[in-house]
Amino acid sequence: MDSIKGLKEYIRLPFYREVLGLSEEVTERYEMLAQGEYNRNYVFTHPVTGKKLVLRVNCGSQMHLRHQIEYEFHALKLLESSGRTPKPLYVDGSLEYLEHGIMVMEFLPGTTLDYHKGLGGAAECLADIHSVKMPEEGMHTLITPENPLEAILDECEEMVKTYMESSLGEEEKKEKIREMLDTGREIVRSIPNEPVYQCCVNTELNNTNFLVDEKGYTYLVDWEKPLYADPAQDLGHFLAPTTTFWKTDVLLEREEMLDFLDTYIRAVAGRFDVTGLKKRAMQFTGITCLRGITWCAMAWVQYREPGKMLFNQSTFEKLNAYLDADFLEKMHQFLKDTFCM
């Protein structure tokens, strides 16, 4: 725990220990579970209950939120009844005692989702999460984009500036990415922004964010960027080639995508209106590919900056794969095909 300054002192504070039912003396051992760009997660066993818990330390925010950890905690509280997310137990985003936000939640055991074996379980998991009714508008406090497809494109434009303005970027690829974004913008503007069922969506559905336990039950454990939006946004991100290809090299066939959506709709079982959901999900799938491409373009430049402290060769190779001319062309065609359903 030495990597987070002051963390050892924080876990000794009386209010932290009282809320969690821990003894005055620190007898539990905290071990690194996982570390990302914005969070560090530690696992420990509660000395009284014997249950494993996760201490999450927030070090930044993709959403540019000052109280990021409290936002995550709130989303988990809203979704607690789904039985598919970790139960949140404690949060402190005051930054009064530590310069980072803190959350404690239950530890869920399991293995990373296998796309070849776990698509059905993932569909059922998402159906249960999306079926949780949120409080009335204005009461759930989740960020609600006015037009989610437009919002994703705006995010793409912001990210791709790094590549477009860099002398390191290849001119032909700049032109191709610009063409793809223009295609996406033209298509999205042709789609009526009609009211649909909305719920808490995760928006970051990589297979590593899912855990499958020994009985095959699937959980969704990372809630860094939740929104109040169309469930189709989650479905689109989950199925997008730029999502599946990142960690596993899997590119789902169109029929696999449609079968997944059929399984999802059956699992919803009438809990909310799914009219037009399959079409909207495929539209989000195409636009999500633009998000993946522009993020990789930004990250590719950042990886080439002199003096970069952390360099992962496999990640850099994957970034090159996403910016390969053939892959860009394939994603451009996929984008156009998803709006022709």
pTM of the complete model: 0.91
Query: What pLDDT is stored for residue 309 in this prediction?
Result: 46
* Cross-strand pairs, 224: none
Query: What pLDDT is stored for residue 257 in this prediction?
Result: 97
Closest to 117 in 3D by CA, of 17, 6, 248: 248
What the block records as the tokens of 206 is: 């990589």
Query: What pLDDT is stored for residue 111 in this prediction?
Result: 96
Q: Are 332 and 181 in contact (CB under 8 A)?
A: no
Give the span between the Cα atoms of 192 and 36, in whole angstroms. 37
Query: What pLDDT is stored for residue 316 in this prediction?
Result: 85
Q: Are 107 and 55 in contact (CB under 8 A)?
A: no
Low-confidence ranges of the chain (pLDDT < 70): 1-3, 137-138, 306-312, 341
Q: Are 296 and 156 in contact (CB under 8 A)?
A: no
Alpha helix positions (H), the chain: 7-10, 14-19, 68-78, 115-130, 148-164, 171-189, 231-239, 241-248, 254-268, 277-304, 313-322, 325-338
